[in-house]
Structure 1
């Protein structure tokens, strides 16, 4: 079977602190927890947090393995862009900051003109873009 428009996408990242990540993504952005698995302290046993919207064709998966932690190594171009198709509200930005995010400027002037960039607790960047997008 080939990849098509119905194929589900998983965005997977390591996290140094799943509780802090959950506060940011659920309390700040409003993504519900899809699945949570608590592993153990032995290598190969990891904690997993999956976040997403009901019915969406994607989810964000954050993993932490206490026995063999992987340090997140995001760059300023590791972006998760959400096209809001409306202005980014100051209230949403404040909520993300209250829940552990940090507003930053993007090295790409496009994102500074059309959106707001927030670093999550692991240093990955979320861009809230006021434009809309369609692959059609």
Structure 2
């Protein structure tokens, strides 16, 4: 049954798994949940108790190039200010602060492109589906 406890996996290709791992682990603070190198190289990243994880994959024999748009966003609601040291860590780990296509995200947070050019938004607001 699908309900509020169902786990979600967000999967996408990567050009450089080591670079995105640095960004999300060293920069954002996610954990490596799983790493595999078989037919595809992949890493699964997240927080151990979270209801979601991010899977990044690369097939060395037939790589699929990431094709991110300015609207492909992974938004993390912080319910408070964005710590400057977190932004500095993400930039040091290969990210780049970029303006958002939608000015809402510039008003309410910071947008950072990861090494594959997908965008992470650190939002100062909170969120609930209730």
TM-score if structure 2 supplies the norm length? 0.98
**Gaps (5+ residues) in structure 1?**
40-44
Q: Flag as ranges the 4+ runs of structure 1 deviating above 6 A.
A: none
Q: Show CA shifts across 1:72-98 (max 9, x none).
A: 000000000000001001111010000
Aligned to 1:112: 106
**Gaps (5+ residues) in structure 2?**
none
In structure 2, distance between residues paired with 1:56 and 1:89: 21
Residues 24-103 of structure 1 aligned to structure 2 (within 5 Å): 24-39=23-38, 45-103=39-97
Q: CA deviation at 1:104?
A: 0.1
In structure 2, distance between residues paired with 1:38 and 1:46: 6
The structure with the larger Rg is: 1
Aligned to 1:17: 16
TM-score if structure 1 supplies the norm length? 0.94
In structure 2, distance between residues paired with 1:55 and 1:26: 16
Q: CA deviation at 1:55?
A: 1.3
Q: CA deviation at 1:33?
A: 0.2
In structure 2, distance between residues paired with 1:84 and 1:76: 21
Task: Report the secondary structure of 1:133's partner residue.
Answer: coil
In structure 1, distance between residues paired with 2:125 and 2:90: 19
